[in-house]
Chains A and B, each alone.
Chain A
Amino acid sequence: MSQPRLRILVADDSASDRLIMETLLKRLGHDVIAVKDGLEAVQRFEDSRPDLVLMDVMMPELDGIAAARQMRELADKELVPIIFLTSLHDARDLAACLDAGGDDFLSKPYNPVILQAKIKAFSRLRRLHTEVRRQREYLIAEQHAAKGIFDRIANQGELSAANIRYLLSPMAIFNGDVLLAAQQPGGDMLVILGDFTGHGLPAAIGIMPMAEIFYGMVAKSFGLEAVLREINTRLKTVLPASVFCCATAVQMNYRNRHIEIWAGGLPDGLVYHTSSAAITPIPSTHLPLGVLHPDQFRYAPMIVEMHAHDAVYLWSDGISETSNPEGEMFGEQRLLDLFSASENRVDMFVHITQSLRDFSQQGIQTDDYSLVEIRPRKDFNLPEIASRLHQSERQPRSIGNWSLEYELRAESLKVSDPVPLLMHMLLQAPGLRAHGGVIHTILSELYSNALEHGVLGLSSRMKDDADGFRHYYQLRAEGLQALQDASVRIRAEVVPVQEGGLLRLRMKDSGPGFDFNHHGAPDQNPAYYGRGLTLLKSLCRRVEYFVPGNEVLVEFIWREQSN
């Protein structure tokens, strides 16, 4: 088998030795560049990029060892074998040549057989090295392409929303961190910070189904529980047993003015109460997503009151594992101290990121953490009228004319949320799609009145203080659990009218009703005031209660858009 023709650089200050080597090499069929000192060697190395270097150790200007060091730097990632030519025979001296950066040595006088054998061996090594590098570059290019796809899928949402700030370092994304945020048509914002096990593509693969489910369901007004259940089921089904997603999920529920948080596997996050600089920890109480079978999945969220100046902070474990040049880790305590030690005017997000930067003293390349800050929307205290106009939809002229009746009894009341399903049905009416937000608000308000105030008999006055708040949700959970005979019946009707379209919603619950005639002061008739009647009346043309108060009818009119 004939050898490939190599370009070989020979450096030797002895003219005769140079000539001997040059002759030997040319006879073997190689191209030779011959130089007489180290300086010239480095120069010719740079401009002709030889495949192999044969270099004398003792040379003027620049000796072989120093020249070898410079050549290595120039070669960068490429492997260019450097063989020292030496008349030294002492084992220690020869070993020193290799320590200094040579790959091998050749003793003078040259033995052509050995010379040829070494050239062959190193040429083989170089080919192998080049092949490995090529494959690595190919894999990296593949990963970039895949990552591009994942980024597009994962970034469909609301990450640019004004009330969310986040930091996802590139390394963290590579290691499976994901951040999803989207707004329901009715205005609630859902956010999930996740961390898949593993690195690179295997870690990132789970992000695709998770993001698709998240964005699809939130757009249809599904709430946190339904979304998490579905994600858990999908990940359990498609991913191997050893791959799962540690996550914390948050729903900013503006209608009820509370924050709902499900934590499974990420380090504890916290709610920071800016006014008092106090912290409410968010402990991880669930198994990560993708571990449990669908029927074993647990949803027992933490519910916290929403205050204008509070903020939720979530982070991945990379934060406490960030290390400084001395190898010390940032640790969880240091992070918590940042919160307790700060005055309430400090911008915590900036403060945390700055502290991490100061501690690690390294660039963003080595950062491997994710940090998210979620604040309530600025106007969350105003009555919720979020309506999102859907782009690029030409509304056809026909309103349609249909009705549906849907009844949930005890077993279903315990586990189902009918609002997303009804929304889906109602938004089939083309004209209503532009009013998705308002419809969602009306439907949610009516249903929660029917379930919580009607069937369960809870009073929203209880939510006025912190303890009452917790108590309310505890009673709600207990009440649902204990439900035996109960029902909520919903009737929806869409008909064309002169102005455009009319949606008529009637809801009847199995509760005792309330005195809907007596207005009076809030403390005289708490039942009346807890039902968002002002809101409903502002959104609907008609709001009418029927004796004994467990049945309500509302009408919503919309004008047809002419395109």
Chain B
Amino acid sequence: MSILSSGSADGKELTIRIKGRFDFSTHQDFRSAYESAPEALSSFVVDLREATYLDSSALGMLLLLRDHAGGDGSRVRIVNCNSDVKKILAISNFEQLFTIQ
């Protein structure tokens, strides 16, 4: 499991890439990734292309990110989801809170 974060050229968007299992062990690193980013961010992208597994604590972490990003006014996209990940997000109806691609 590893986290890689990179900012966009204009410094407005942060992309966090998750590799491996996205579960409770990722907690600290995930938080650091967005908390240590500069204030000027207006949108976040969580790239799950290489994520192999998502559990309920991962969903919780996404909610924390959304809160940090401004709650209802936030722009958080979850991208490159495989079918298993899509299914987990669908059961929890997270597309009502995030843009899922």
Please list the residues of chain A having a beta carbon within 8 angstroms of any beta carbon in chain B.
Answer: 195, 197-198, 241-244, 246, 264-268, 284-288, 291, 293, 296
Determine whether B67 belongs to the interface, using a CB cutoff of 8 Å to chain A. yes
| 8 Å CB contact of A287 from B57, B67, B96 | B96
Whether B56 sits at the interface, judged by CB under 8 Å, is yes
Asked if A198 and B56 make an inter-chain contact with CB atoms under 8 angstroms apart, the answer reads yes
Residues in B whose Cβ lies below 8 Å from that of A198: 24, 56-57, 60
B50-93 to A contact mask, C-beta < 8 Å, 1/0: 00000011011101100100001000000000000000000111
Chain A residue at minimal CB-CB distance from B60: A242
User: Contact at A241–B91, with CB atoms within 8 Å?
Assistant: no
Q: Give chain A residues whose Cβ lies under 8 Å from the Cβ of B24.
A: 198
B97 interfacial contact with A, CB 8 Å: yes
Residues of B within 8 A of A243 (CB): 60
Say yes or no: is B94 at the interface (Cβ < 8 Å to chain A). yes
CB neighbours (8 Å) of B94 from chain A are 287
With both chains docked as a complex, state the minimum distance between the C-beta of A218 and any C-beta of chain B, in angstroms. 25
For residue B95, which residue of chain A has the nearest CB? A287
Minimal Cβ-Cβ distance residue in A for B93: A287
- A242–B91 CB distance below 8 A: no
A265 with B63: CB separation less than 8 A: no
> In the assembled complex, how far is the CB of residue B28 from the closest CB belonging to chain A, in whole angstroms?
13
Interface of B is mostly: helix
Judging by beta carbons under 8 Å apart, are A241 and B67 in contact? yes
**CB neighbours of B72 from chain A (8 A):** 293, 296
CB–CB A197/B93 < 8 A: no
Question: In the complex, which of the residues B59, B63, B64, B94 has the most CB atoms of chain A within 10 Å of its own CB atom?
Answer: B63
Chain B nearest Cβ from A174, distance in angstroms: 14
The answer to whether A241 and B56 have CB atoms under 8 Å apart is no
Question: Quick check: A241 and B93 within 8 Å, CB to CB?
Answer: no
Most chain B beta carbons < 10 A, residue from A195, A241, A284? A241
Contact B97 A287 (CB under 8 A): yes
Chain B residues lying within 8 Å of A291, measured Cβ to Cβ, are: 63, 97
For the complex formed, measure the closest distance between the CB of A223 and the CB atoms of chain B, giving whole angstroms. 22
* Partner of B60 from A197, A268, A293 at Cβ < 8 Å: A197
- B92 engages A241 (CB within 8 Å): no
Contact assessment for B59 and A197 in the assembled complex, using a CB-CB cutoff below 8 Å: yes
* A284 in contact with B91 (CB, 8 Å): yes
Closest to A286 in B: B93
- Contacts of B97 on A, CB cut-off 8 Å? 287, 291
Write the nearest CB–CB distance from A196 to chain B, whole angstroms.
Answer: 8
How far apart sit A195 and B91, CA to CA, in the bound complex (Å)?
13
Nearest CB to that of A287 among chain B residues?
B93
User: How many angstroms from the CA of A206 to the CA of B94 in the assembled complex?
Assistant: 21
CB neighbours of A286 from chain B (8 A): 93
In the docked arrangement, what's the CA distance between A231 and B56, Å? 19
Q: When A and B form their complex, which 7 residue pairs have the shortest distance between CB atoms, in order from nearest?
A: A242-B60, A197-B56, A265-B92, A241-B67, A242-B64, A287-B93, A284-B91
How far is A197 from B60 in the complex, measured between Cα atoms in Å? 8
Identify 15 new A-B residue pairs, CB closer than 8 A, beyond the known A241-B64, A293-B72.
A197-B57, A197-B59, A197-B60, A198-B57, A198-B60, A241-B63, A242-B60, A268-B91, A285-B93, A286-B93, A287-B93, A287-B94, A287-B96, A287-B97, A296-B72
Using CB atoms, name the residue of chain B closest to A176.
B56
Q: How far is the CA of A291 from the CA of B98 in the complex (A)?
A: 13
Question: 1/0 per position for B4-35, CB-CB distance to A under 8 A?
Answer: 00000000000000000000100000000000
CB of B92 within 8 A of CB of A284, answer: yes
> In the complex, A243→B93 CA distance in Å?
16
**B69 smallest CB distance to A (angstroms):** 12
Q: In the complex the two chains form, what is the Cα distance from A241 to B56 in whole Å?
A: 13
> Which residues of A sit under 8 angstroms from B91, Cβ to Cβ?
265-268, 284
The answer to whether A246 touches B56 (Cβ under 8 A) is yes
User: How far, in whole Å, are A264 and B93 apart by their CA atoms in the complex?
Assistant: 8
CA distance A28 to B57 in the complex (A): 53
Residue of A nearest to B88 (CB): A317
Quote the shortest CB–CB distance from B4 to chain A (angstroms).
Answer: 21
- Chain B residue, CB-CB nearest to A291: B63
Query: In the complex the two chains form, is A246's CB within 8 Å of B61's CB?
Result: no
Q: How distant is A517 from chain B, measured CB to nearest CB, in Å?
A: 51
**CA A447 – CA B19 in complex, angstroms?**
57
Task: Please give, as numbers and ranges, the residues of chain B lying within 8 Å of A246 by CB-CB distance.
Answer: 56, 92
